[in-house]
């Protein structure tokens, strides 16, 4: 909300009016209504010299989680008085050369703030060649998701579309019935209702077009890994689904990596489980 004649923004029991500066500000509201409801945002125009914008809206179950990005202060984090040194709220480069971050995590700029070196920071010795920092602390009342697991209910987690003109289309995050008749799932697998999953839109592109979605990088283990997922392939002209392991060496494989699983054709209007044991020796 920025400008000399900016109006007001109102939602539920929250309201702001007037110039709030040329910056984004976060709002959290704990909603406890027991009936089905919609959320309505009401913006009132104040004049030509003022604009109102909103972004990054989300809904989560339970109370609003306490969080701190250290941009406005320490958010009631307190120094322990019995330790040997203090954490310092800092922006930009740390004081010691060749150490620490040169920007914060929240804004990725030198002007954003973080806490530089109980979270306990243990020094390796009397040296200026190593700094520790942390940023964007959040505490929620839910368990941390397992690395590598994603049900796509909130977002795509660490999965990303390949892009860069390597493939011809994207995987999309959808919910409910497929937009194309007589194809795709009508419900997700996680909740068996109109929640979220990833899909490729068969009505876009040409026959034989490929769409790649890529995971985060994982480290190898002596015991290996088990990759499991549920897939839905339904329709008279459904294509092929392939899974590759790519350690960037392309040993025994092609540019996509080593093919470890493949399925093609109509598998019916149902979710099917796939499980693949893998034991790479390099990060993949």
Give tens-digit pLDDT for 33-44: 777 777 888 888
Q: Indicate whether 215 and 82 sit together in one domain.
A: no
Q: What is the pLDDT of residue 251?
A: 54
**Hey, which residues does 242 pair with through a beta bridge?**
262
End residue of a domain, out of 38, 64, 90: 64
Q: What percent of the chain lies above the pLDDT cut of 70?
A: 76
Q: Beta-strand (E) ranges in the chain? A: 8-11, 14-17, 42-44, 67-68, 88-91, 113-116, 133-134, 137-138, 160-161, 172-175, 196-199, 213-214, 225-231, 240-245, 258-264, 272-278
Estimate to the nearest angstrom the gap between the alpha carbon of 204 and the chain centroid: 26
Q: Beta-strand (E) ranges in 69-121? A: 88-91, 113-116
Q: Indicate whether 113 and 135 sit together in one domain.
A: yes
Arithmetic mean of pLDDT over the chain: 76
Q: What is the DSSP string of 6-37?
A: --EEEETTEEEES---SS-----------S--
Q: What is the pLDDT of residue 195?
A: 86
Cα gap 116→103, rounded to integer Å? 11
- Is 131 a residue whose pLDDT tops 70? no
Q: Indicate whether 164 and 283 sit together in one domain.
A: yes
Q: What percent of the chain lies above the pLDDT cut of 90?
A: 0
pLDDT tens for each residue of 146-181: 777 888 888 888 888 876 565 667 888 888 887 777
pTM score over 0.95: no
Q: Indicate whether 107 and 165 sit together in one domain.
A: no
Cα gap 280→261, rounded to integer Å? 15
- The confidence band for 47, taking pLDDT boundaries of 50, 70 and 90, is confident
Q: Indicate whether 182 and 158 sit together in one domain.
A: yes
Which tokens is 94 given? 């740390």
- The confidence band for 118, taking pLDDT boundaries of 50, 70 and 90, is very low
User: Range of 217's domain?
Assistant: 143-284
Please tell me the total count of domains within the chain.
3
Tokens 């990759």 appear where?
227
Q: Indicate whether 247 and 156 sit together in one domain.
A: yes
- The confidence band for 222, taking pLDDT boundaries of 50, 70 and 90, is confident
Q: Indicate whether 56 and 82 sit together in one domain.
A: no
Cα gap 243→277, rounded to integer Å? 12
Q: Are 171 and 152 in contact (CB under 8 A)?
A: no
CATH number, domain at 271? Answer: 2.60.120.200
Q: Are 28 and 64 in contact (CB under 8 A)?
A: yes
Q: What is the pLDDT of residue 137?
A: 60
Q: Indicate whether 174 and 280 sit together in one domain.
A: yes
Q: What is the pLDDT of residue 123?
A: 44
- The confidence band for 138, taking pLDDT boundaries of 50, 70 and 90, is low
Q: Are 233 and 263 in contact (CB under 8 A)?
A: yes
- The confidence band for 98, taking pLDDT boundaries of 50, 70 and 90, is low
Q: Which strands form 14-17's sheet, in the order they lie side by side?
A: 14-17, 8-11, 42-44
């Amino acid at each position: 909300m920025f400008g000399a004649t900016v109006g007001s923004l109102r939602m539920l029991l929250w309201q702001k009016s007037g110039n709030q500066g040329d910056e984004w500000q976060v709002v959290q509201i704990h909603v406890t209504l027991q009936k089905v409801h919609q959320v309505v945002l009401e913006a009132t125009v104040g004049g030509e010299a003022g604009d109102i914008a909103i972004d990054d809206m989300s809904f989560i179950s339970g109370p609003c989680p306490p969080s701190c990005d250290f941009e406005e202060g320490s958010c009631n984090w307190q120094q322990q008085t019995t330790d040997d040194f203090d954490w310092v709220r800092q922006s930009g480069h740390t004081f010691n050369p060749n150490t620490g971050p040169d920007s914060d995590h929240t804004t990725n700029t030198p002007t954003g703030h973080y806490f530089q070196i109980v979270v306990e920071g243990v020094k390796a010795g009397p040296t200026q060649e190593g700094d520790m920092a942390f940023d964007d602390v959040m505490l929620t009342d839910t368990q941390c998701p397992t690395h590598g697991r994603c049900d796509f209910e909130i977002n795509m987690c660490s999965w990303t579309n390949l892009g860069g003109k390597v493939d011809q289309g994207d995987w999309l995050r959808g919910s409910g019935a497929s937009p194309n008749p007589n194809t795709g799932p009508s419900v997700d697998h996680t909740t068996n209702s109109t929640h979220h999953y990833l899909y490729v839109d068969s009505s876009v592109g040409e026959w034989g077009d490929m769409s790649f979605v890529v995971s985060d990088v994982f480290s190898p283990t002596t015991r290996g890994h088990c990759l499991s997922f549920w897939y839905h392939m339904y329709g008279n002209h459904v294509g092929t689904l392939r899974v590759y392991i790519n350690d960037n060496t392309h040993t025994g494989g092609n540019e996509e990596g080593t093919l470890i699983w493949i399925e093609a054709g109509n598998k019916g209007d149902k979710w099917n489980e796939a499980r693949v044991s893998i034991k790479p020796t390099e990060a993949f």
